[in-house]
Amino acid sequence: MNASQLFETVASLPLQVLVVVVSIVVLSRFVDHAATNCRLWTIGFVAILGLIAAAFLLPHLRLFNDVSRLSESAARTMFVLQIWIIKALVVVWAIGLTVVLVRRLGRMIVLSQFFSQRCRVMTDEEIATLPLGEQDELPKHLRWLVSFEKHGPFCWQLQRPTIVLPSCLLREEEEVLRHVLLHELEHLRTNHPLQHFLQGTCNALLWFHPAIWWAARNAELTREFHCDEVAAKAGKTVASYLKTLAKVAEQSATAPTCTLAFGRRKSAIVRRTERLVSQVETAHGPDSSHAHRRASLAIGCLVLVVLVVSQLWLPVNVLASSRTPVSPWPTWTANLLHEFGVSVRDYERFDARHDLNELLNADED
């Protein structure tokens, strides 16, 4: 992949990601169902990672190719400029990625120390006293921990699902504790830690993209919406769950980072409260069949958007040939296919007016 192809990729990929994120936000408002919206964000993060992989591994259509009209001298000048821009962007991106990964590693070390030094495993007697019934499904190999510090409850999963409860919470009323347990169990039951991991991977690779920051905040809030709804419906009244939310959320801001805390930001707590209140006021919503049709339609639309946007490429590749509407295969993918005896085109079919050898030599220099 030469500098012009790489410039085309880094210019088009952020636009593709922006379209996907905006589409999910719009579809989420159309569906207005927390469980479905969680699935939309999971599909969205997988799609974003897929777009990144496809951009660097697969060819793509060139629906617009205005740069082919450039004169040879203008194309040469732009190509040299793209080389310098790409070198600068790669350095900045690598520095940013390193900073993000170092911070993530530091948080993981702090969390590991928190588990080993500030928590203890709950005894079987303590687990037996938790206000959970036979109808409450528990993940396999679930680990219960009690923290010695005062903070909000949270769950986490790398190999084993883990729920951490502060010791002060165990002394709360049974209804409050049950609300918290149902909330955290729903996070684990619906694989929210996996979505959190996908979200974190997108954040690391595209740390510079405001749309990814926006997507992370929306996905986090959607996960909490869903768990709030499940826990509130399983309780006596929504009003009782709101009391739990207000009481426990005050302590949740101090929960360790990189975990699924009960509540971290005051603004998010306000929005979660407003959503629960609005659901009480509109208790007679659409029936389940209508909601299911909306969910299927939204997921289908998102998949269609991803397929279309994967071919949305800005016409900035000065080496792009007007003789074919398809880009060449990236060199590393083409070399791998050649090893298996599959012949693919990994070069541009240049117009006669372009001096390919001279431009490529400039790239190597």
Q: Where are the alpha helices (DSSP H) in 163-287?
A: 174-189, 192-205, 210-234, 238-252, 266-281
Q: What pLDDT, on a 0 to 100 scale, did the predictor assign at position 357?
A: 45
Tokens linked to 286 = 């659409």
Give the full edge-to-edge strand order of the sheet including 119-121: 119-121, 143-147, 161-166, 154-157, 260-261
In this model, does residue 71 exceed pLDDT 90? no
Tokens linked to 143 = 């680990």
Q: What pLDDT, on a 0 to 100 scale, did the predictor assign at position 332?
A: 85
Q: Residue 22 and residue 85: Cα distance in Å, rounded?
A: 28
Q: What pLDDT, on a 0 to 100 scale, did the predictor assign at position 16?
A: 96
pLDDT in tens, 84-143: 999 999 999 999 999 999 999 999 998 899 889 989 999 999 999 999 887 888 888 999
In this model, does residue 284 exceed pLDDT 60? no
Q: What pLDDT, on a 0 to 100 scale, did the predictor assign at position 15?
A: 95
In this model, does residue 291 exceed pLDDT 50? yes
Residue bearing the bigger pLDDT, 71 or 76: 76
Q: What pLDDT, on a 0 to 100 scale, did the predictor assign at position 253?
A: 56
Q: Cβ distance 360 to 81 under 8 Å?
A: no
pLDDT in tens, 145-155: 998 887 788 88
Q: Do you know the residue count of the chain?
A: 365
Q: What pLDDT, on a 0 to 100 scale, did the predictor assign at position 153?
A: 87
pTM attached to this predicted model: 0.89
Q: What pLDDT, on a 0 to 100 scale, did the predictor assign at position 358?
A: 52
